[in-house]
Each structure stands twice: as C-alpha cells, then as structure tokens.
Chains A and B, each alone.
Chain A
C-alpha cells in the first residue's frame, strides 16, 4: 500500500511540475464499469494527453445456482468494490477527439463472494440441516496490484473550452483471480482446494475487466 501511494505521489508531482497554460487542463467526471471516475487531464502538445484519476464504486448482486440434478441449490452474494487509481496516456493520431489510450491502474479492486446452501440438506434418514445450521462460505478474491489498460475513445482537453462529453471503451488486464475460501459451521469442508479451483475457473473471465465509460469534461 505504501509503495502504491508513493507512486501516486511521484506521478502527481510530475503532472503538476511543468509550467503550462491553464487551457491545457481539463477535469472529467464519468460513469464507468470501474465506478464513478474522476480525473484531471493535461495536454502535452497536439497528440498527447496525460490523465490521472481514480474510480470507486460498490456493486452487490444476489444470485442463485442450482445443479443440474437438483441436488444442490446455492444462494450467493457478490460484492464488487472497484477502487483504482489510473495513470493513462492518450494518443490523438488525427489530432481531433479520437484517442487511443494506454496506461495502468493501481488496482485496489475488492471482490467478495459469499455463498450458502439455498435449501435444507438431508444427510441421512433422520438428519436434515437448515441453511442456517449449515453456515456459509466466504471468499476473498485478489487480483494483480498493477493492471495495464488499453482502450480508445473520444475527448481531448486541448480542443475547445467548457463542457464536453467524453466516451471510452477498453479493457484492464488484472490477472487471474487468486481465491481464498473460508467456511463456517458444517460447511467447513467445502473450503477445499477443488472448490477454490472451480470458483477460480468460473471467474477467470474476470482477468480481463471490461471498461466502458461515459461522462463529461470541463476544459479550461
């Protein structure tokens, strides 16, 4: 964490240290798959912008999954808390609003998954456990701390003043998720290597995190 903050501090100093005119700056506010994003952008000539900002949000989803044979029903809650600091470079090949973007994110995304049995489980003729008696399983899911980003979009702080729209689409490579399962009560044996591998496989798509954003920029 300390290392990440140091990087942010150094980049911010670099960003602010150059003596430039106010018209090269812009501030943006976006809604994106990374959450609510805000950043400060600065142009370096006609072809380049540099952006530094952050994104944060919290998203909870409740779902259930029933096995094909109907033996098991699992209720789960996914809590996605995207939190990241991004440092991005925009390249304007046509010197207009269209941009190609590259950079990286300091990825503080948190992804929690909690699940439990969605119905009573009968383990013998006379023993049946309710979901409450069975307990629940929690998983902490981690990704790479530094995640590269590639994308493209529209928006250039060097063009015009006032309020402008911006749009961006891209993807972050945050690496294969690393999972740590823990379980309580009678579901304790569920926190095993097989299930960890299965969940990691189920969410492996998550290593490429899609980014789609739409927002406004105020160009000074």
Chain B
C-alpha cells in the first residue's frame, strides 16, 4: 500500500507538472478592512482670563529726557519703550494719546519685539504706523496684533522727523485679550514613545464663536507649560463672530507640518513629554465652554491595498 501511495504521488506530480498550472491565487488582491481608529485624548482647560487693559506709560515725551535718541544727519529718530511682560497669544491691541509738539510732521511706528535693546524697528513686528501732523493730538487704538510665539515682549514707540522732536504720550496701554488655554498631553506615557503614532496625532474639533468679537485659535506644541516660552507655533486661525469653525491638522490655516514633524522627532529622541496647546483669545469675553473643543488622535488608515 505504501508503494502504491508513492507511485500515486509520482503519477500525480507528473500529470500536474505537464499541465499549464498557475497558482490559484495569482493576481488575487488582498483587501484589508482597516477601520479608522479614533482615540479621544483627554484635554483640559488650564487657564482662563478676561480681557483687561494694562497701562504701560502714564505720561512721557518722545524727544524729551525720557526718550532714547538715535541721531542721524538729516533726521532724528527717538523712541520710548515699555515692558509689556508675558504675552500668550495674539489679539493684543494698544491704545493711548499722542500729541505732536515738534513744529513739523512726525512718522510714528508702534513696534513689538522680544528684545529690550532695539534702536530701530527691526527684529520684531510693526503694530501700527502713521503720520502725526504738527500740532495734532490723536487717540490711537491699534488693530489686534497677529498671532505670535508666546513670550516676554517690549513695545516701542518710534518717532522720526525734525531734530526737535517733541511728541507727548499719555495713557498708553496694552489691551490684553481674554484667553482660554486648552492643553492636551499627546504622549500618554513618558516611557512609551512611538514616533509614528505621535505623528499621526491630530488636533481637531469645532468651535462656534458666540462672542461679539473675532476669536483667534492658535495651536502650539511644547514640552511643558506653554507660558514658559518653549511653545512652538504650528497654526492659527481667526474665527469670525457667529462662525462655526471645524478644524483639524489638515484644515488649520498654515499648519506647519514640517515644523511639527521635526519637533516631534526631536522630542521623541530626547524622551520628553509632549503637549499640544490650543489657545483661544479674543478682545471680548470668550463664551465657549471647553467641552466644545475635541482633541483627538486619529489613525488614518486605508481600506484597500
């Protein structure tokens, strides 16, 4: 019987080898059911503040003893500066009264910078610029400053014009926005880093601006408390009044994916915890509740190979 079996297998092998036999699974496509897996990461509101004006300069004169002068042959630029302190987000604005007593027109630049050692408008960004005619007294109220990296800032008022500069400044104040800081810890365990998994993390949700002023959303990545200036601005967007804004990494304005991936890679290599921050800021009170913001890790997977 055993010999018969061997003979049978030989016969079968010969017969099959003479047939034009293809693999039965040739060109079969494996389709994989890979449903989107979604993990909602717990997020929490860390801080909240109401809008408030902070007076920076009560009374001062540009061109007088209280200003710093930078001399040039044809014109003179003088400035005064004030320490604004820690700013967390955009939507800050400046207000005050300026009076030109120089006898000639003066160009005024209101400038924001992180350095306290500037002598000209460089190294920061311009908040407002205008011409103050001779004898003119003007109440200024700047537009909201665009989003910027959180940190310690100085505001400068540069005046350029006649060598006999004399511009009076009074009640100059910064109008700090209302803010709501929402933090999410991206990696759930300090010791459990998976670069790819973190790269797949998305920030998404929807916010309806029920307030009476535009609401700015800014997204940061940091390794700790974002107010300690290590936040890295990834994206920002201004939400109009009554707008219901749905956002994600792919739809956020100017989301810096390259920066994001570089930071993640660096942080993972250094084994430090990662946080994402969403900062909402507005010149009026923010009426949304934190539960409206969903931050989730979403694994994007394909359904077919």
Residues of chain A within 8 A of B251, CB atoms compared: none
Q: Could you list 29 A-B pairs, sorted by A, with CB under 8 Å? A: A31-B7, A31-B8, A32-B8, A32-B11, A33-B15, A65-B26, A67-B27, A72-B30, A76-B24, A78-B24, A115-B25, A121-B305, A124-B300, A129-B32, A129-B34, A186-B34, A188-B33, A189-B304, A190-B31, A190-B32, A198-B29, A199-B24, A199-B25, A202-B24, A202-B25, A202-B26, A202-B27, A210-B15, A212-B15
Contact at A202–B33, with CB atoms within 8 Å?
Answer: no
Contact at B199–A125, with CB atoms within 8 Å?
Answer: yes
Interface of A is mostly: mixed
Interface residues contributed by chain A, number (CB under 8 Å): 45
- Minimal Cβ-Cβ distance residue in B for A189: B31
Contact at A210–B19, with CB atoms within 8 Å?
Answer: yes
Q: How far is the CA of A188 from the CA of B299 in the complex (A)?
A: 20
CB distance from A34 to the nearest CB of B (A): 9
Interface extent on B, as a size class? 35 or more
Residues of chain B within 8 A of A192, CB atoms compared: 31
Per CB-CB distance, the 7 closest pairs between chain A and chain B, nearest first, are: A31-B8, A189-B31, A126-B196, A124-B301, A65-B23, A31-B7, A123-B34
- Minimal Cβ-Cβ distance residue in B for A133: B32
Q: How far is the CA of A202 from the CA of B22 in the complex (A)?
A: 6
Extra inter-chain contacts (7) besides given A33-B15, A186-B32, A186-B34, CB under 8 Å: A29-B4, A59-B12, A76-B24, A188-B33, A189-B32, A198-B27, A210-B15
Residues of chain B within 8 A of A123, CB atoms compared: 32, 34, 301-302, 305
- Minimal Cβ-Cβ distance residue in B for A35: B8
- Minimal Cβ-Cβ distance residue in A for B8: A31
Interface of B is mostly: loop
CB distance from A110 to the nearest CB of B (A): 15
- Minimal Cβ-Cβ distance residue in B for A200: B24
Residues of chain A within 8 A of B302, CB atoms compared: 123-124
0/1 string, B220-261, CB within 8 A of A gives 1: 000000000000000000000000000000000000000000
0/1 string, A117-133, CB within 8 A of B gives 1: 10001011111010000
Contact at A72–B305, with CB atoms within 8 Å?
Answer: yes
Interface set, chain A 47-67, CB cutoff 8 A to B = 57, 59, 63, 65, 67
CB distance from A18 to the nearest CB of B (A): 31
Q: How far is the CA of A192 from the CA of B23 in the complex (A)?
A: 19
Contact at B7–A65, with CB atoms within 8 Å?
Answer: no
Contact at B32–A187, with CB atoms within 8 Å?
Answer: yes
- Minimal Cβ-Cβ distance residue in B for A188: B33
Q: How far is the CA of A76 from the CA of B18 in the complex (A)?
A: 21
Given A126-B194, A126-B197: A205 in contact with B26 (beta carbons within 8 A): no
Q: CB within 8 A of B11: which of A29, A134, A185, A214?
A: A214
B5 beta carbon closer than 8 Å to chain A: yes
CB distance from A206 to the nearest CB of B (A): 9
A174 beta carbon closer than 8 Å to chain B: no
Given A113-B24, A202-B22: A121 in contact with B30 (beta carbons within 8 A): yes
